[in-house]
Structure formats: structure tokens, C-alpha cells
A = this chain, B = another copy of it.
């Protein structure tokens, strides 16, 4: 008998029929003799509906009240799933994040999990119940409802699995695993059977939407075996696990695309120490994450600083830069909206020279302009124009033959 955490996303609980289908999957797992904890998202479209109401009544709604509002979405789907399980003759009980002691810290709408007191869940499991927990939300020390940010339900599920020391955490979604690239962009994209935490982390951070990156961090930190699979098929999906010797060490695991990016350029700054710090402190004070940063000397003896960020933060960041432009003695600020970040990810990359060159050549020889570059040991990211995204993904996927199952073992083939 194992303790298994299931997580179902919004499309999996989009209507009552789908909730009944989820109930059947949960019962099948329970009937195999397992204890089951289920984490649910809001019914597809519900969070957007609520967010739209918020912005319609207040163009700048207080974040605390947005959390109060949108957290109802998961509460509804959790209660309905409990009812569906009860209709099938099973004991089930639903809890809000607050009710299971999912304590968070940090700002509303982007809270971070600090602690989960698993006692209430264990108590109900011991009584034989299936426990359902609302994803995406917790409470702060004052009892205010907080949310973890978009996609936070994955993180809730893995954090709960970690707190319960669960044997497995299964993320049920509308795709049947992790692919070498988005199959809608690259028809030859191949599903991976296993992937290491590190590669998955990079891919999630860099735009593979199948899992929220924070959930992968949690899984890695607490060694939670994590599986991504489809609610609507019996495909075993992709297992995300610690790196092992038997794991396929391809140079590149996959290609990902991060959309909804924007770029800000602060022009012609004086070449004095502390200027960059001033700029990024002002941005950090607004609680905005910047991603890629490029600092270049321009032809007039000054310095240009460009950085990218999520487009949702662009308005605030742009206003912040305009406010301090005189203070940092810059000539001006420009913004660019239609950019995406394309990344190639793979643990094998660190032992393989020439990967970066291969990426740049694939893009360059196909007429795709690279605006910014950032690299780490296991990924290379390029900022490109939005219009180039499909073409770029295909040429990189082709260049590294990611569609072929056993390109594999690049260490042996190329070394």
C-alpha cells in the first residue's frame, strides 16, 4: 500500500462529467489499496472569469482581495469532487489550503509555501477517507487567503506530497507527458519516458507549460517522485526523477518556448559604478523578476542596459524606469513587446562543446535574428522575435534530431 498524491488541472475538472471521470481515476487508485490525496485546480476558465470581474470593477484591484476572490475557484471544484466520490460510495472530504495548514509567506498573488501541517490530512487518511485539497492557495500567519501564482496547483501538490512523504505525486493534465518540444509547433516532437529533475526544471522555467517550475524545485529538494500524465488516457506519461546512471544522457532533452516576454532598454547611461544596481533595485522594489540582462557599451561612450521580464510586469517596470531615468542620467527608455525566449535544455550539454554554436548556427543560417543570449551549464536561451518562434523551434529540433528516439547516448556517439 502506497500513499499517492494526484493533481488534476483545470481542463481535467472543466465540467461535472470530467469531475466524475476524475473521481473514477481516484477510486481506481484507492481500490488498488492506496491512500489517495487529490489536489485540484479551479474548473477551466473559472479563474479567468473571476480575474476579469476583478479588473472590471477595479483596474488596479488590491492583491489581497484578488486572492480572496480567485481562491473560490478551487474550493468549488474540491467540494464537487468530494460529492462525486461520495456518490460512488467513497468517503471523501475536501479542504481549503488554510484548513490543512498550508502556510505561506510573501506577497499576495505570488505567495510561497513555508510550511504544511500534514496532521489533518493524515487523520482523515487513517479514517479511510480520500482527502481533497484545493490547489494554488494557502493562508498567511494572519489567516488571510493567499495564492501561489498561476499554475501554483502543481506546487501545492508536490509540497503536500513532500510533507506527507508520499510515494508518488502524479500530475494529471491534458497532455500525456513531457515532450522534446511543443507538439503543436513541432509535429515530430517525441514524448520522454523519464527526465531528470534538473532538466525538467530548466524546461519548466523556460516555458514548457506541462509543470510549474517551482513544483519541480520542490520535487527535487524533497526527492518526490513525480509523474506527468494525461487524465484522458492510460499512457504512463513522463517520470521526473533524480538523475541516474541508466538515464538517457542525450545532449539536448528538449526545446522550450517562453512567450509573453517583453524587453526594456535603458539608453546611454553614464559609465559610473552603481548605475546598474540602482536600476535593478528599483525593479526589485516593485517585486518584479527580471530574466535576461545585457549590458553593452554604446558608440557614444555610454552604456545601454537591456533586460527582459514577463509582459504582465511591463507596465509597472516601464513606469518605474521612467521615474528614475533622470536620476540615473539615462537618455531614455524604450520597450519591445513582441519577443519570446527559445531555449534548448539538456544535462548532457555540459560535457558537450559545440552545442551553443549549433544553436546559433541553426538560427542564423535560417535568417532568425538573436536579440539576447543567456546560458547556464544545462541550457542555452535566445531572445527572438515572436514571429520567428515556430520556425526557430523546428530548425533546432531538427538540428539536434530530437524526434529520433535513440539519438541518445551522445556521450558515446560523439565523444
Chain A interfacial positions (CB closer than 8 Å to B): 16, 19-20, 50, 53-54, 56-62, 64-66, 68-69, 71-72, 75-76, 78-80, 82-84, 86-87, 93-94, 96, 98-99, 143-145
Contact = CB atoms under 8 A, between A and B. Distances in A.
A65 B82 contact: yes
B93 A64 contact: yes
Given A86-B65, A93-B64, A94-B65, A76 B56 contact: no
B68 A87 contact: no
B82 A76 contact: no
Contacts of A83: 54, 57-58, 61-62, 65-66, 69
Given A94-B65, A94-B68, A99-B143, A58 B79 contact: no
A19 B87 contact: no
Nearest to A77: B69
A60 B83 CA distance: 9
B79 A68 contact: yes
A124 to B, nearest CB: 11
B69 A86 contact: no
8 contacts: A16-B53, A53-B76, A54-B79, A60-B87, A65-B93, A68-B79, A69-B76, A99-B143
Given A57-B19, A72-B72, A66 B79 contact: yes
Contacts of A99: 143-144
A16 to B, nearest CB: 5
A69 B20 CA distance: 16
Q: How many copies of the polypeptide does the oligomer hold?
A: 2
A49 B389 CA distance: 43
Given A69-B75, A72-B75, A75-B69, A80 B57 contact: yes
Given A69-B80, A94-B65, A58 B86 contact: yes
B75 A57 contact: no
Nearest to A76: B72
Contacts of A60: 87
Given A82-B62, A86-B62, A20 B68 contact: no
A68 B64 CA distance: 21
A62 B85 CA distance: 10
Contacts of A145: 96
A253 B240 CA distance: 73
A78 B68 CA distance: 9
A87 B60 CA distance: 8
A80 B54 contact: yes
A87 B53 CA distance: 13
A236 B378 CA distance: 71
B65 A69 contact: no
Contacts of A79: 54, 65-66, 68-69
Contacts of A50: 76
B86 A61 contact: yes
Nearest to A62: B86
Given A66-B79, A69-B80, A71-B75, 8 more contacts: A20-B57, A53-B76, A57-B87, A59-B87, A65-B82, A68-B75, A68-B82, A99-B144
Question: Which 7 pairs from chain A and chain B are nearest by CB?
Answer: A72-B72, A69-B79, A58-B87, A58-B83, A68-B79, A65-B82, A61-B83
B94 A57 contact: no
Nearest to A143: B99
A50 B76 CA distance: 8
User: Which of A19, A76, A84 gathers the greatest number of chain B CB atoms within 10 Å?
Assistant: A76
A75 B64 CA distance: 13
Contacts of A19: 57
A367 to B, nearest CB: 48
Q: Count chain B CB atoms within 10 A of each CB in A19, A62, A75 and give the residue with the most.
A: A62
